[in-house]
Structure 1
């Protein structure tokens, strides 16, 4: 997606616009009727010699006066003007159009500098990225179109591990990680360019367990595949704080004093299939306080709340924002006693368990962990009162556990 640089009127006398100066490639934005600070994203279109519009939208255009414009997009007519404006990025005057529909929806376009196809293909080659591919566990999104409608096709060196469409099949446990080369071929007209990516696909873990924090006087991961946790202050990104240890559900447990938390390793979950299991013994219940918290960023997160918000009657819940999702358990856990909490996510289907019993199931849960650098913590987030009480036996899985498996995890008695 692309953001458009700001333009300003040049203050020049409006001269008659020549038809041949209009024809070409444009960045296009449909502003609709919105009045907001949100930046609209542009797409690429062409105003062609035959008065059609092609590219990422389709329609027709025509010049109806010395600089007046009429464009029809998706059956809606927009009337406005063609006008040369100053582009501070290219430091030049460029052809633009601005038009309104009868209902007040606005569209805008800015003509792009003419480029040979080879240069466009090279631009796509330089910009093309798949992000971090050093530890892949989920399907890849492989773009099939670049700047100015350049086509992108993909070829995998091992389609059994990563297909040409980005479908990932992880090696079985013990087989080791697999390195695959993905080759992107960019085509624009008669010009082509090639870019290669090395993708390392992680082998499957035994039983799907990827991290286990037992809190026996430290914050280390017993599986050895994830790093140790670190102590934070009262917010996920604050320093300071202190974690002590007390008798837990199995051995010792981490003791949270209401002013501290634990930052877990980034990327602990990466994908849309996972499970979280932990024991909690809260000393107090406060609004929005989290036990387990995970986020792609401050706007996309999941939180396991001992005390949920008023819309679920303050019941224990899994909560996600800002694609808001309420998974209320229909019950409240107690202070001063151990409760087992778990939730599983399987490609949008979520199940929430309290003490081994399923209390919620639903679909449409947001796909939060689309990167390998997600942020995770215990007892703190960026906003709310820190957790006060004990936590023990945190387990993270890269599979969605069955109800029977969750029930077995909840059988430990203090």
Structure 2
């Protein structure tokens, strides 16, 4: 049986008060809190094995290198990549998108097409727009409907022999919509296009199987899965990683350097220039181990309960509208109160010790589609409780009384 109170005891930050009230943290889609085992692992690295990796024969360097590569193997196993060298350490999802987009600059020609969706975070829009400006490629957009779902027929109609890469998120950060990425991948491949999946909002809730999905690239961030900020993963199929040029030049990513010519190291080092975030990479493995110890089946079941409870509780409030009503969604509720700016709601809930996100959530095209400036977003995770949702509902009602 899943015991949320036992889980909460792993997170020291959850015991504090904000503005004199117990902290209710509902901004998990922005970043997750960290369990004590992750905090201890950070301290342990710097206390016991701090050294640069892959470059030293001394003991600490060997220990740090082993720990770093063991973490890569943990992550390979977690996402079911075929090879550890298909798992690249990055600074986060944004780094992964830019790495792939930069590589495709050597492949695209004027008139080629790049496809994104109307549900994307800015990080999965802007790099592709920049790529179009560099190459003369054309950006196509998969449309969405009023439930916050992609219009799949529209996607299929947009595909053509000109489509070179399709970049979509697994789960929408703004609405919680779970996209049918396996179908999207299959259809894109039939058209001869590569597929990049932004998994930043998916990996906190599920275990992606990159071989089963058959995606060409899958990126996510460590700080959303109880790991350190400034960490992330880009999975890429070997054939694609071999095809793309390096994103950055420097130490570590080279085989041999002369003033006449440089040859590059093999995978994964070809894409990992410079001294990496060593502690972050190691501790990301610790965070993934922790989530697996909680169990993703437990996480999914419990978070679904929170989503249903929170949806029903908030819809009891007159004048409250939820944006993102897909049948398949994760534990995110984006809402507004009629006639009240979302920022004002967030400011009042903060006074009650409740952390929610307000604004466009780096997804302005979604807000433009609905004709709104933004939403209040409450994003739940496995250490949240129904009692906290009750507190949120009470705070929203208070905000409505004060601001109406």
Is the pair's TM-score, using the shorter chain for normalization, greater than 0.5? no
Structure showing the higher strand proportion among its residues: 1
TM-score interval, normalised by the smaller of the two chains? under 0.3
Structure showing the higher helix proportion among its residues: 2
Q: TM-score, structure 2 length as denominator?
A: 0.24
Q: Quick one: higher RCO (CA 8 Å, sep 6+), 1 or 2? A: 2
Largest Rg, 1 or 2:
1
